[in-house]
Amino acid sequence: PPRLLIRDLSLSVSAGGLLIAGASGVGKTTLLRAVAGLWLGGSGVVRRVLDPRRVLFLPQQPYMQAGSLREELLYPFGPVDVRPGCHDDDGGSGDSSRPGGRDDDLRRALHRVGLEHVLVRAGGDLGARRRWAEELSVGEQQRLSVARLLLHRPALAILDETTAANDAQHERLMYECVAETCQAFISVGHRPSIEAFHARRLTLLGEHGAGRWVLEDLA
């Protein structure tokens, strides 16, 4: 039978980040997937005034291909004029118009999320082909998904437990990259520490709360 998870929810996502909270099973991931256009069940309307290529969904378990490191970084949109949103300390622009510029951007993105050791393991070759889902830990895969975000620069990022397998230091680094790169972002996560990276919190009460919800500012 149908379940009422969320009733009469109407909101806009602006700069500063929105954290979706609530007990297990209240519909947090369902709402994220609906906003991302990945969930077509139920009823209601989600309006996105963005090109789908400007929205990036980062799940807890990133999709990894059996291909080159370059292909992993450029997933899901493929080659574009990439310029990382978070630069390292050399102040480089990552200009893809100069020879090797695009690969420089990819290397810079790996460095920014603390994955330079992955490139070292690959012998410095972005074309190295591996079974990355087996070679990288889940935490490393999550940081690689943030490197993708740096390269594609979506206007809206949707994060579903994207930092769950990382320690506090890497979690902060990942959210700094998201906040500096995207116009807005929405997160689901259970760690209290991630509240610090968001401006508002939406708490869902689920079907036992008759689909009610609470929206509040985070000081």
Please report, as a single letter, which amino acid is at residue 103.
D
**Average pLDDT of the segment spanning 142-158:** 95
Neighbours of 149 (CB within 10 A): 26
Contact 4, 211 (CB under 8 A): yes
In total, the chain counts a number of residues equal to 219
Contact 174, 196 (CB under 8 A): no
114-118, 144-148, 188-192 — which is least confidently predicted?
Answer: 188-192
Q: Give the relative orientation of helices 138-152 and 168-181 as an angle to the nearest 10 degrees.
A: 20
Type and span of the H or E element at 94: none
This prediction's pTM: 0.85
Query: Which one of 50-54, 90-94, 170-174 scores highest in mean pLDDT?
Result: 170-174
Q: Which residue, 74, 73, 104, is CA-closest to 91?
A: 104
* Cα dist from 62 to 119, 148, 163, 218, whole Å: 19, 11, 11, 28
**Average pLDDT of the segment spanning 16-28:** 91
Q: How far apart are CA 143 and CA 173, in angstroms?
A: 9
